[in-house]
Amino acid sequence: MSRRLWAAPIVLGAALLLVGCGDITRFQTATSPPAPPAKPNRTVVQSPAAEKEHERILSSYGGAYDDPKLEALIGKTVDRLVAASDRPDQAYRVTILNSGAVNAFALPTGQLYVTRGLIALACDTSELSSVLSHEMAHVLAKHASIR
């Protein structure tokens, strides 16, 4: 009996989580023209080592995925997160990786990576914001330097 009591909320929660998922068109609005890519006045400074790591990541994940509308949406989302953060001076650059794998990660320089697979799995921009803010927190907490 006790096993049923704890399993019911888990099953209900999983069902509610999956109910809202659909295809990637939920990120696009048909009534408004696509916003131009966000061009913040902050730039990520890439050292030669960081640039080399960026190239390695691109080759490991099938290169960068080129979708200007999606890049604009993600750029706008990151700009909102940065504005609401404790460190609005921190610069970020997002690269969408052309991989079906579900993954996101960050370099200490503020370079954020998110895969096509993860974006497809996100139900809406709030879920995408959660992932991006999580990766931004790694940069701000300097987790890579702690390793």
Which residue would you say has higher pLDDT here, 39 or 70?
70
Q: Are 90 and 141 in contact (CB under 8 A)?
A: no
- The fourth-level CATH superfamily of domain 24-146 is Metalloproteases ("zincins"), catalytic domain (3.30.2010.10)
Model confidence pLDDT, tens digit, residues 33-44: 555 444 444 556
pLDDT band at 27, cuts 50/70/90? low
Domain regions of the chain by residue span: 24-146
Predicted model pTM: 0.69
CA–CA gap between residue 20 and residue 15 (Å, rounded) = 9
Mean pLDDT of the chain: 80
Round the CA-based radius of gyration of the chain to a whole number and report it.
17
- 11 has a pLDDT exceeding 70: no
pLDDT band at 45, cuts 50/70/90? low
Q: Which amino acid does the sequence have at 131?
A: V
